[in-house]
Amino acid sequence: MTDRKLVILAIAAVIMTGWAVLQSRLADRAGRRPTVLRAPLVQGLDPDAIAQITITSQDPEQTVTLSRANSGFRVDQKDRYPADIRAVNRLLSHCLNIRLTEYITDNPANHADLSVTEQTARYTVRFYDSDGQEITGVIISPTQSDPEGAYARLTTDDATYFIQSPPFLQTRPISYVDTTLLQVDRNAISSVMVRGPDGDYVLLASDNEPGIYLDPMPDGMQFEGTAYRTVFGALSTLRFEDVTAARNAPDGLEFNHSYVCRLEDTTVYTIMLAQDDGTFYATVTADFMDTAAVQVGADDSPETLQQKEAKLLAMDAAEMFARRHDGWVYTISSAKFEDLTQPMEALLEEKPEPEPQEPEQTEPIAEDTE
């Protein structure tokens, strides 16, 4: 065989190899699903059809199950405590706003390397209908640094994509609960009563300085510092760290402290407090003490009508508050427990002895020498 023929055969081999590679690429591309830049990963999800949501992460202890209850959701891991609808909406928004940047693969054999299996993913979120059937879900890998982003796919599909700006999802059950129990306007408080095993005392609002007085103030005593103000306004923000159904609370809790806050509109908030092994517990309720019936008269002035409306709204708010928190025991911080249980002695100090007054100096009267 001549050198010319060998060159021709070599060129033909190169052409055939290139054609095979091209054919392979074309076939691979034809089999790929087209990626529309910035197209959403989750499409067509009807929020009203969702009956349950599960959120899992690499930490098996951080699992959240949100189950539909009437118009909202409840957190299964917190004895079905009502979920914060804002937190649920944020979760839905984060999942629905995932946008595709690049198609990667639809081969399940690659999922583990891309960290988009349930065992390797950073987040797995699943949505179920009322029959317990999975509607769809998302699996998101840990954040990648080069390039910056993450891999993601649907739980119901093998196609995996690269996404930019991956969402940060909450994976702790308490993160789906509104942990604010109370936010009371300090200017609306008329009195606070603190009771404990060693006694009780009452702080009353006053128009005079310092704006709060102790009834009665022991003889020879006065407020020390500003601790009394902290006690008086302790419900300006009351949050909890954890919650459990009363039936599942630790046995033997002794609620031997109480904090009773009365507002000018006669709403009364009662906080019962206990501690056990360094953990601090509280139950909360509300009552509206003005039980006189509200009657609207034809001759009522606009001001009178506003007052009556405000009373009805306050009555409803107290009833709803009591109903919502009935049967629940909350865990609060040690600092807040201290504010709510301060003994009277911690608020007072002895009045300083008045400084002796020096006698007035008088000028001697000059004698008349004439």
Q: What is the mean pLDDT of residues 174-187?
A: 96
What percent of the chain clears pLDDT 70, i.e. is strictly above it? Answer: 86
What percent of the chain clears pLDDT 90, i.e. is strictly above it? Answer: 73
Domain boundaries, the chain: 47-176, 180-350
For residue 215, is pLDDT > 50?
Answer: yes
Question: Across the strands, what pairs with 147?
Answer: none
Between residues 354 and 346, the one the model is more confident about: 346
Q: What pLDDT, on a 0 to 100 scale, did the predictor assign at position 15?
A: 42
Name which of 6-20, 146-160, 182-196, 282-296 the model is least confident about: 6-20
DSSP type of residue 353: P
Residue 355 pLDDT level (bands cut at 50, 70, 90):
confident
Q: What pLDDT, on a 0 to 100 scale, did the predictor assign at position 364?
A: 62
Three-class HEC string of 31-46:
HCCCCCCCCECCCCCC
Q: What pLDDT, on a 0 to 100 scale, did the predictor assign at position 138?
A: 98
Q: Taking a C-beta distance cutoff of 8 angstroms, is the pair 180, 88 a contact?
A: no
Q: What pLDDT, on a 0 to 100 scale, did the predictor assign at position 294?
A: 84
CB atoms within 10 A of CB 359: 6
Tell me phi and psi for residue 152, to 5 degrees.
-150, 150
The CA distance from 216 to 227, in Å, is 17
Name which of 73-87, 213-227, 287-301, 337-351 the model is least confident about: 287-301
Q: What pLDDT, on a 0 to 100 scale, did the predictor assign at position 33?
A: 55
CB atoms within 10 A of CB 53: 23
Q: What pLDDT, on a 0 to 100 scale, did the predictor assign at position 8?
A: 43
Q: What pLDDT, on a 0 to 100 scale, did the predictor assign at position 4?
A: 46
Tally of residues, the chain:
370
Q: What pLDDT, on a 0 to 100 scale, did the predictor assign at position 369?
A: 54
CB atoms within 10 A of CB 317: 14
CB atoms within 10 A of CB 63: 16
Which residue type is seen at 276?
A: D
For residue 20, is pLDDT > 50?
Answer: no
Name which of 10-24, 281-295, 297-311 the model is least confident about: 10-24
Write the pLDDT tens digit of every residue in 218-260: 999 999 999 999 999 999 999 999 999 999 999 999 999 999 9
Residue 9 pLDDT level (bands cut at 50, 70, 90):
very low
